[in-house]
Amino acid sequence: MSEDLISIIDQKATIELTVDDEKVSVPEGTSIYDAVIGMGKTIPSMCYHYTFNPFGSCGVCLVEVEGKKAPVRSCTSPVVAGMIVRVDTKTMFDARKKAVEKHLQTHPLDCPVCDADGHCELQDMSFNFGITQIGEVKQKGLPEDRRSTVLDFNMNRCILCAQCINICKEVVMVDALQFFKKGGFTHVVAKGDSALECEFCGDCLAVCPVGAITNKFSKYLYKPWQLTKTVTACNYCADGCQMRVEVTDHTVVRVTSLLSWKDKWDDHAATADGHGGLCVKGRFGFAYINSSERLKKPLIRKNGALAEASWFEATAEVAKRLKAIKAAHGPDAIAGLITARCTNEDLYAFQKFMRRTVGTNQLDSSARYGHASYCAAMEHALGAAQPTVSFHDVTFANTVLVVGSDVTETNPILALRIKDGLSNYHAQVIVAHPVRTNLVKLAPFPYTIAVGSEGAFVQGLTKAVIEGGLVPQRVASEHPTATAVLQTAVASLSWEALESATGLSRETFAEAAKAFVSGERRVIVLGEQIVNRPDGYQNVLRVADLMLATGMIGQPGSGVIRPCEENNERGAVVVGAMADRLPGGLRYDDPAARARVAAAWGGSLPSGGATLAEIVDGIRSGRIKALYAIGENPLGTLPASAGVREALSRLELLVSQDAFLTDTGAMAHVVLPAALAAEKDGTFLDGHGRLQPVVRALDAKGEARPDWAIVTEIAQLMGASLDYTEAEEIRRELLQIVPAAFDAGPAALRDGLDGEVALRYAQPAVAADAPSSEYPFELSLYQVLSHSGKMSTRDKGLLEIDAKSRLQIAAKDAESLGVVSGDRVKVSSPLGSVEVRIDVNGDLPHGMCRFPEHFNDPAVKDVLPMWVDPVSKAPAFKAGRVRIEKVVP
């Protein structure tokens, strides 16, 4: 246990007891079970799991306590001073054996058809206790509950250990399951005995020690011993979960979590680095890997149509045409885009290919519209582009401020850390969000703010902190000028303006500020609604001001976390796959860093460069003739107003390298099939700074190859000395150039920042357009729990769970428009209009509507404007004002 952990857990008096003639001291309140486990002994049990409080339902963990006639359930009995406990005795073995026999009396012996066969705690127990006779058998004969989309509940097999209910209630805090007595038996059912409608994280499935809960997507398709299991990283969001991909015959059959009934012994505090569970995307979104829509062979456009070709032809074609364009128009006629879902090795190989082989700095990754605003602003303010807090810090934070983030939907595992702090470590959680999100419903300080006023909320909080005299003495003495400047700057903000912008009163700000500074360790979670807005860059600077005012800079355990949507956005910045970044995450215009990279590569680096929006403009103006897009689909991501379709049609060469044929791929001249994360080796850098190993779990579909291998081959055909044979070589090269590439640097207030603070506060607090009578609704594109980007919409499992491409509107607005869920409405903006079905959502505020960004049918994104930040060059295209009219059928 680390130092700070010990300080967190209250020091309790120790108690001495005797276990099997051995003296042991444990803190007061420990259960006998934990005391015995702590000695390195084991007591068999079926309902115990370290992630939640002991429940005591299985009756197997029996021990003998002197002075008590009957055996005692050790997990629920606290230790008493001077207690004499006997664990390893023949009597206790028999008592435990009897308890297991009792479970077997009601358990059907349908092991041959059960999916848990071979991975079943009851089987293991029966074997270990040598049970051959089970006495009178009482079979339940119940039908299987198949009402849920994802999970099947077979209550015949259930041993009523309640692990599923407890993990759902105490760890995931969704509380979707309950015991329900009907027909003379206790069942585990969804709340209200209806079809299960929850987050479908599947942690209940993971902890079920028998086959009572089974996975519908892989039902009866396997026996555990038939599967080849590989632990690799999930490639949906940036929470960086490790998961087991289980494969047979080149098909992913299921994905399981490291959380399981098998790993049950640990300290609850160990969950601070993650409890090992997964979310719905990780656990049930694996079908896209097996999809028949995957690209299996390279395609080359011949006579206007894409035709299958061999790798030899395809890479030669790309190399030949890139070389010709470079010779005719210079290297700056070529640009490259890469997705942040690629591994660090892919990203590094690609940026080196673009900069060294092609000789241009016109490259960008999808971290541009995700992580870039945050990085640019934080580097400017604090000198550290990357978030410095980890999972651990979030769990043990005294206060957590969540702004503009529906974190339970976008990054569910990070949300579990906040929930853990909330329920077990007395964290003060402050949530500011226009929508009544799941976290708003749990948090002690929920604030419903006006749509788009997240920046103003942060400013108001800063003002309340400074004017309430809550600035720590240490800050005023360490940064006297900065504090003074900030003080005068916030004085220029009027409370009236902030109140009208956010919809919160001055007293509310004072309350929030008091709650925020109440603890030492503070974590701010910045979601995409505050960072990826037109004023996102400024918003992050405002957060830096709040950090300064409350003394968070340099405070251990304090900092900002930016939950990214794509798994390797942080990696894309660190590896330098962006026009303004060098390998190691160094700034591209930093002369010392340029010299270091240039020396390592043996040559000079190209000057200039273009980011995503500039590349699109360059193509449209005819300056850029060739685009090499890896996993990126600008046509499907950017709104119509960005003019991507027109731009792409002007290209002389468009290469799309993807696992699927995307909209962009359909326009491409050459399409190269790429391997998915489960099919290659490498690393991801997750949103919390952990380097996650990515291990190949199965062979790539068809002839698909890892991105770095394709890039290397094209580079070699173009005559460059890019020579890698495995992913590790690429990583080694990066670490040779920048040994600390994957570490977040220390954060400290940058000199000279004071000057611009005043300027920043001279601007109006809210940059969002005011509601007008013509366009009264604020439309935003949002992320839903079961999807991530566009990739998950290729997954038939996740589509089965959620394929609702519907516009959500508030109940009040639905009433005034005279529409109900399922009706069609016309959404129009100055940029166009689109017809879409609606869904009424009671949690949305009046005047707000939202549409899942993952679906392009109908293309709601096309009515939104695109706005590019002048500093970070990050395009913001997920919000805008619209008018909604009912469509009369």
Report if residue 249 touches other proteins, rule: CB under 8 A.
yes
Give the contacts of 240 (CB within 8 A, at least 6 positions apart).
233, 234, 567, 684, 686, 687, 688, 690, 692
Beta bridge partners of 300: 307, 670
Rounded to an integer, what distance in angstroms lies between the CA atom of residue 163 and that of residue 714?
A: 53
Q: Any idea which residue has 């109006």 for tokens?
A: 764
Q: At its nearest, how many Å lie between other proteins and the CB of residue 165?
A: 19
Stretch that binds other proteins, among 26-34, 181-189, 315-323, 596-604 (CB under 8 A): 181-189
Q: At its nearest, how many Å lie between other proteins and the CB of residue 697?
A: 19
Please answer whether residues 404 and 782 qualify as being in contact, where contact means their C-beta atoms are separated by less than 8 angstroms.
Answer: no
Report if residue 223 touches other proteins, rule: CB under 8 A.
yes
Report if residue 221 touches other proteins, rule: CB under 8 A.
yes
Q: At its nearest, how many Å lie between other proteins and the CB of residue 187?
A: 8
Phi-psi region of 752 (alpha: psi -120 to 50; beta: other; left: phi over 0): left
Q: At its nearest, how many Å lie between other proteins and the CB of residue 160?
A: 16
Q: How far is CA 771 from CA 812, 846, 880, in A?
A: 17, 12, 10
Q: At its nearest, how many Å lie between other proteins and the CB of residue 140?
A: 7
Stretch that binds other proteins, among 25-33, 223-231, 272-280, 553-561 (CB under 8 A): 223-231
Give the contacts of 243 (CB within 8 A, at least 6 positions apart).
231, 232, 233, 234, 255, 256, 257, 258, 278, 282, 283
User: 813: which 2 tokens?
Assistant: 């607005």
| Comparison of 211 and 455: residue with beta carbon closer to other proteins | 211
| Comparison of 254 and 479: residue with beta carbon closer to other proteins | 254
696: number of Cβ within 10 Å: 18
Report if residue 191 touches other proteins, rule: CB under 8 A.
no
Among 93, 222, 265, 495, binds other proteins (CB under 8 A): 222
Q: At its nearest, how many Å lie between other proteins and the CB of residue 197?
A: 16
| Comparison of 221 and 598: residue with beta carbon closer to other proteins | 221
Q: At its nearest, how many Å lie between other proteins and the CB of residue 222?
A: 7
Rounded to an integer, what distance in angstroms lies between the CA atom of residue 596 and that of residue 593?
A: 5
Q: DSSP for 729-770, please give it.
A: HHHHHHHHH-TTTTSPPPP-PPTT-HHHHHHHHHS-S--SPP
Please answer whether residues 61 and 79 qualify as being in contact, where contact means their C-beta atoms are separated by less than 8 angstroms.
Answer: no
Rounded to an integer, what distance in angstroms lies between the CA atom of residue 822 and that of residue 809?
A: 11
220: number of Cβ within 10 Å: 9
Q: Which of 78, 162, 158, 173 is nearest to 116 (CA)?
A: 158
Please answer whether residues 627 and 333 qualify as being in contact, where contact means their C-beta atoms are separated by less than 8 angstroms.
Answer: no
Q: At its nearest, how many Å lie between other proteins and the CB of residue 250?
A: 13
Burial of residue 691, with CB atoms counted within 10 A of its CB: 0-12 exposed, 13-18 middle, 19 or more buried: middle
| Comparison of 220 and 770: residue with beta carbon closer to other proteins | 220
Beta bridge partners of 852: 782
Among 68, 182, 250, 262, binds other proteins (CB under 8 A): 182
Rounded to an integer, what distance in angstroms lies between the CA atom of residue 661 and that of residue 670?
A: 11
Q: At its nearest, how many Å lie between other proteins and the CB of residue 114?
A: 9
**Number of residues in contact with other proteins, rule: CB under 8 A?**
27
| Comparison of 224 and 446: residue with beta carbon closer to other proteins | 224
| Comparison of 69 and 138: residue with beta carbon closer to other proteins | 138
Pairing, β 653-658 against β 626-630: parallel
Q: Per CB under 8 A, which of residues 127..156 are in contact with other proteins?
A: 138-147
Site string (281-310) toward other proteins, x via CB under 8 A: ------------------------------
User: 305: which 2 tokens?
Assistant: 């149509």
Rounded to an integer, what distance in angstroms lies between the CA atom of residue 2 and that of residue 5?
A: 5
Among 12, 68, 219, 262, binds other proteins (CB under 8 A): 219
Please answer whether residues 356 and 742 qualify as being in contact, where contact means their C-beta atoms are separated by less than 8 angstroms.
Answer: no
Beta bridge partners of 14: 27
| Comparison of 226 and 621: residue with beta carbon closer to other proteins | 226
Q: At its nearest, how many Å lie between other proteins and the CB of residue 138?
A: 7
Stretch that binds other proteins, among 83-91, 183-191, 523-531, 870-878 (CB under 8 A): 183-191
Beta bridge partners of 887: none
Stretch that binds other proteins, among 124-132, 220-228, 295-303, 529-537 (CB under 8 A): 220-228
Q: Per CB under 8 A, which of residues 398..427 are in contact with other proteins?
A: none
Report if residue 870 touches other proteins, rule: CB under 8 A.
no
Q: Where are the beta strands (DSSP E) in 176-218?
A: 177-182, 185-190, 213-215
| Comparison of 53 and 251: residue with beta carbon closer to other proteins | 251
Pairing, β 399-403 against β 522-526: parallel
Site string (560-599) toward other proteins, x via CB under 8 A: ----------------------------------------
Site string (337-376) toward other proteins, x via CB under 8 A: ----------------------------------------
322: number of Cβ within 10 Å: 25
Give the contacts of 94 (CB within 8 A, at least 6 positions apart).
none
| Comparison of 184 and 818: residue with beta carbon closer to other proteins | 184
Q: At its nearest, how many Å lie between other proteins and the CB of residue 131?
A: 17
CA atoms within 13 A on the CB side of 289: 30
Q: At its nearest, how many Å lie between other proteins and the CB of residue 178?
A: 15
Q: At its nearest, how many Å lie between other proteins and the CB of residue 185?
A: 8
| Comparison of 225 and 591: residue with beta carbon closer to other proteins | 225
| Comparison of 205 and 874: residue with beta carbon closer to other proteins | 205
Please answer whether residues 811 and 845 qualify as being in contact, where contact means their C-beta atoms are separated by less than 8 angstroms.
Answer: no
Burial of residue 88, with CB atoms counted within 10 A of its CB: 0-12 exposed, 13-18 middle, 19 or more buried: middle
Q: Per CB under 8 A, which of residues 73..112 are in contact with other proteins?
A: 111-112
Question: Taking CA 481 as the corner, what is the angle to CA 475 and CA 485, rounded to the nearest 5 degrees?
Answer: 100
Q: At its nearest, how many Å lie between other proteins and the CB of residue 64?
A: 35
| Comparison of 109 and 740: residue with beta carbon closer to other proteins | 109
Q: Per CB under 8 A, which of residues 830..859 are in contact with other proteins?
A: none
Report if residue 225 touches other proteins, rule: CB under 8 A.
yes
Among 14, 128, 226, 736, binds other proteins (CB under 8 A): 226
Q: At its nearest, how many Å lie between other proteins and the CB of residue 703?
A: 25
| Comparison of 23 and 138: residue with beta carbon closer to other proteins | 138
| Comparison of 108 and 468: residue with beta carbon closer to other proteins | 108
Q: At what angle do helices 480-491 and 754-762 cross, to 10 degrees?
A: 10
Among 40, 67, 130, 183, binds other proteins (CB under 8 A): 183
Q: At its nearest, how many Å lie between other proteins and the CB of residue 150?
A: 15
Three-state DSSP class for residue 540 = helix
Rounded to an integer, what distance in angstroms lies between the CA atom of residue 706 and that of residue 858?
A: 33
Among 133, 220, 602, 773, binds other proteins (CB under 8 A): 220
Q: At its nearest, how many Å lie between other proteins and the CB of residue 225?
A: 6
Give the contacts of 729 (CB within 8 A, at least 6 positions apart).
none
Among 117, 263, 617, 726, binds other proteins (CB under 8 A): 117
| Comparison of 137 and 871: residue with beta carbon closer to other proteins | 137
Report if residue 250 touches other proteins, rule: CB under 8 A.
no
Q: At its nearest, how many Å lie between other proteins and the CB of residue 149?
A: 13
Kindly list the residues in this chain that would bind other proteins in the complex (CB under 8 A): 111-113, 117, 138-147, 182-185, 187, 219-223, 225-226, 249
